Amino acid sequence: MTENPILRTANLSKNFGSVSVLNSIDFHVDPNESLGLIGDNGAGKSTLVKILAGVYAPSGGEIFFNGAPVTFRNPQDARAAGIEIIYQDLALCNDLDAASNIFLGRETSRKIGIGRWLDRNGMMQEARAALAELGADIAPDQLVGSMSGGQRQLVSVARALQFSPKLLLMDEPTAALSNTKIHLLLDLVKNLKKKGISVIFISHRFTDLIAVCDRIIAMREGEIRAEIRPADSKISDLMSIMQRALSGEEIL
Amino acid sequence: MKTNFSIVKKFSRTSDGTRTIKKFLGPTGLGLLGALIIELIIFSNVSPYFLNATNFSNIGRAMVIIGIGSVGATIVIISGGFDLSVGSVMAASGMLAAFLVNQGQSTVIGAMLALTLGCIIGLLNGFVIGYLRINPLIATLAMLSIVRGLAYIISGGNAEVISNPAFLSIGTDSLFGIPLTVLVFVILFLSVGFIMPRTHFGRYVYAIGSNSRAARLAGILVNRWTLIFYTFSGTTAALAGFITVTRTGQAEPSANIGAELDMITAVILGGTSLSGGKGRLFGTFLAIVVLAILANGLVLIGVPSYWQLPVKGCVLMGAIIWGELHNASRDRT
């Protein structure tokens, strides 16, 4: 851990009724770091990122963001602090166009006479620029419902980046993509680091994590079981550590 | 912050940016326009009275009531909801206005309180649906009974006959040859149509109807907006009920039974999807005109009035089947 991690949790736990989903999670993300999260279904990965995104309230423990303790009552709080999330299903409105989705819930508007009016041209232009910066050949007025899986993913990335986040959470971003599209996405994640954005990347696919992550945490049954740095050792060693951690052996 | 993301260019396909009137109207709008032209040709050839200024004024007056209520119905259905209580709201608010005016209150007071009643009922619908998460069909079905009962209670079961000339003039007077009520209808449609693409209100109607979970995760207060949509629907229903009474000169507790079904017919015929997220107010407007001319024309060419209902049902069935076929062909591509 560096002096000032961008995010740190202490004793973070979550129960749904009597079921304990997260058990005393301590972890951190450094500035400019991409951290991988791996684990089976039900390991608690998605619950963890949803707490960080303000969707769930933790049952116990603390979250420190930029060194200060934070409480996120809802997704807006997390967004305001600078944490964006891209959900596994992307959470897009198919009947709205790309620009409306990028600005959804954060539309720019102006007060003219009685009431506030959407700045439609301004949002269109900003969306056009944001999509172009991602290299996406998508018109801002194209309906999301008419797009391919890769295009939809780009719209959700553009939305997450639109308001200059400090930390980006990606929940299984490669799950819905074909193999060729996965490489493009992984390159995109590497580029985020150059922009100074920290990333938490959840995936089932170990090879994806090795490709983009500085550090990988393995979770099992609501606990962190192993932590590895892909740069430190051979891939075959990493694989064996991961497999042991995920099958329940004590590593840490 | 110019970064090289050109590598992901392969993600995308070029979009087709053609814009024509065809696109503006959409397949539904084109179909309705076609239906309108066919109606005009048939009825003007069959009946000598059809292309008559008085008859057009009658068509206008006839479509106003369902038309005004269908503005709110369109909003609610695009947002993924449903409001079955509108017919009852129309009767109760019309009844309240008539009762107040007959008690010596002014027409303005009667109108304001009628609208307030509709607003409150809509607010209750919105609260139950948005905050208590009750299915809108069930919530508004219950409200349908409650409010219809209220109309009987206000009136003691009797019709209120109104003689106040100022009140009645709203339903009968014209401005520049256009009935006042038609003006109210057109102004309402134009102003809501103007607001829809330009405000948070309009955008969130579509966002919530399209994917309410995504809307909530994006920070939109879905329950509060749902409350606003149903409040709006209740208010337009009350306006429609008020105008019914100014036209007929009497308020009956059994008035406007089934009006909600006429509105839903118009909304669906106008191309709004029952599953939410898709639809246009302009489509509803065209559908209202097509249905009103159809009803008028059938009377003029001497079709017995019992036949109107099955014809309307067939039109609705045809519209739904056509819409489904269109969706199916779009999904294949």
Quickly count: other Cβ atoms within 10 Å of residue A203's Cβ: 25
Burial of B265 (0-12, 13-18, 19+ CB in 10 A): buried
Residue B221 contacts A where some CB pair is shorter than 8 Å: no
Question: What is the pLDDT, as a whole number, of residue A242?
Answer: 75
Nearest CA to B279 out of B233, B323, B328, B332 is that of B323
- Is the confidence at residue B12, as pLDDT, over 60? no
Question: What is the pLDDT, as a whole number, of residue A125?
Answer: 96
For chains A and B, count residue pairs whose Cβ atoms are closer than 8 Å.
121
Do residues B206 and B277 make contact, with C-beta atoms less than 8 angstroms apart?
A: yes
Q: Which residues have CB under 8 Å from B142's CB, separation 6+?
A: none
pTM: 0.89
Question: What is the pLDDT, as a whole number, of residue A1?
Answer: 58
Q: Cα separations (Å) of A101 from A18, B13, B120, B265?
A: 37, 18, 33, 30
Question: What is the pLDDT, as a whole number, of residue B314?
Answer: 87
Residue B213 contacts A where some CB pair is shorter than 8 Å: yes
- Report DSSP letters for B291-317, one per residue: HHHHHHHHHHTT--GGGHHHHHHHHHH
pLDDT tens per residue, range B307-332: 888 888 888 788 778 777 776 655 54
Question: What is the pLDDT, as a whole number, of residue A250?
Answer: 62
- Is the confidence at residue B21, as pLDDT, over 90? no
Nearest CA to B50 out of B39, B65, B61, B64 is that of B39
List chain B residues with CB under 8 Å of A138: 12, 15
Residue A11, classed as helix, strand or coil, is strand
Backbone phi, psi, residue B40, to 5° = -60, -45
Instruction: Look at B164 and B9; give whichever has higher pLDDT.
Output: B164
Q: Do A106 and B219 touch (CB under 8 A)?
A: yes
Question: What is the pLDDT, as a whole number, of residue A251?
Answer: 59
List chain A residues with CB under 8 Å of B10: 180, 184
Q: Looking at residues B151-170, what average pLDDT do you find?
A: 89
What crossing angle do the helices spanning B308-332 and B259-269 adopt, rounded to 10°? Answer: 40
Backbone phi, psi, residue A9, to 5° = -120, 150
Q: Which of B192, B208, B217, B225 to mutate to test the interface with A (most CBs of A within 10 A)?
A: B217
Instruction: Look at B96 and A225; give whichever has higher pLDDT.
Output: B96
Q: Do B211 and A92 touch (CB under 8 A)?
A: yes
Nearest to B219 among A79, A93, A139 (CB): A79
Q: How far apart are CA A9 and CA A69, in angstroms?
A: 9
pLDDT tens per residue, range B246-302: 999 999 999 998 899 899 999 999 989 888 999 999 999 999 999 999 989 988 888
Question: What is the pLDDT, as a whole number, of residue B330?
Answer: 55
Instruction: Report mean pLDDT in 10-residue bins for chain A, 252 residues.
Output: 84 92 93 91 89 93 94 91 92 96 94 91 96 91 92 93 93 83 86 89 88 91 87 77 73 56
- Is the confidence at residue B13, as pLDDT, over 60? no
The order of strands in the sheet holding A167-171 is A83-86, A167-171, A198-202, A34-39, A215-220, A223-228
- Is the confidence at residue B10, as pLDDT, over 80? no
Question: What is the pLDDT, as a whole number, of residue B4?
Answer: 43
> What is the ipTM, given to two decimal places?
0.89
- Report DSSP letters for A200-240, one per residue: EEE-S-HHHHHHH-SEEEEEETTEEEEEE-TTTS-HHHHHH
In terms of CA atoms, which chain B residue is nearest residue A186?
Answer: B8
Both structure tokens of B101: 């005016």
Both structure tokens of A222: 């609501």
Nearest CA to A131 out of A161, A91, A109 is that of A161
Q: Which of A95, A106, A212 to mutate to test the interface with B (most CBs of B within 10 A)?
A: A95
List chain B residues with CB under 8 Å of A148: 11, 13
Residue A131, classed as helix, strand or coil, is helix
**What is the SS3 string spanning B89-123?**
HHHHHHHHHHHHHHCCCCHHHHHHHHHHHHHHHHH
What are the b/e assignments for A187-202, b being 16+ CB within 10 Å? ebbebbeeeebbbbbb
Quickly count: other Cβ atoms within 10 Å of residue B301's Cβ: 14
Question: What is the pLDDT, as a whole number, of residue B7?
Answer: 39
Residue B23 contacts A where some CB pair is shorter than 8 Å: no
- How distant is the Cα of A103 from the closest Cα of chain B, in angstroms? 9
What pairs with residue A65 in β-bridges? A7, A68
What pairs with residue A20 in β-bridges? A15
Question: What is the pLDDT, as a whole number, of residue B328?
Answer: 62
pLDDT tens per residue, range A72-82: 998 889 999 99
Interface of A with B (CB under 8 A): 55, 74-76, 79, 87, 91-96, 100, 104-107, 109, 115-118, 120, 133-139, 142, 148, 150-151, 153-154, 180-181, 184-185, 187-188, 191, 194-195
Q: Do A135 and B5 touch (CB under 8 A)?
A: yes
Q: Locate tokens 């008859």: which residue?
A: B55
